[in-house]
Amino acid sequence: MKLALYMSQHNLSPEDMAIKIEDCSASAVLKWSRGERVPRVEQQRRIYEITDGQVTPNDFVLDQAVEP
């Protein structure tokens, strides 16, 4: 599941997610949710924990995949 979809389904703003993740800004969360940036590994782990595994590190990697 994409981070943006999770946030939408749970009525979470970038600010809300940033508070839950603890070591990031709301603007960083917004960029991740738009696929503009990829969170660091530690942040990906935290997102996985917060979302009970609904948003995985693969969800971020797949956003960055280049199509042949």
Q: Are 12 and 3 in contact (CB under 8 A)?
A: no
pLDDT at 62: 67
d(Cα 8, Cα 40) in Å, to the nearest integer?
Answer: 22
d(Cα 24, Cα 49) in Å, to the nearest integer?
Answer: 15
| Token pair listed for 8 | 């939408």
pLDDT at 67: 54
3-state secondary structure (DSSP) of residue 48: helix
pLDDT at 61: 84
Counting the structural domains of the chain, the total is: 1
Model's pTM, two decimal places? 0.87
pLDDT tens digits, one per residue of 14-46: 999 999 999 999 999 999 999 999 999 999 999
In which domain, by residue range, is 40 found?
Answer: 3-64
CATH number reported for the structural domain that contains residue 15 in this entry = 1.10.260
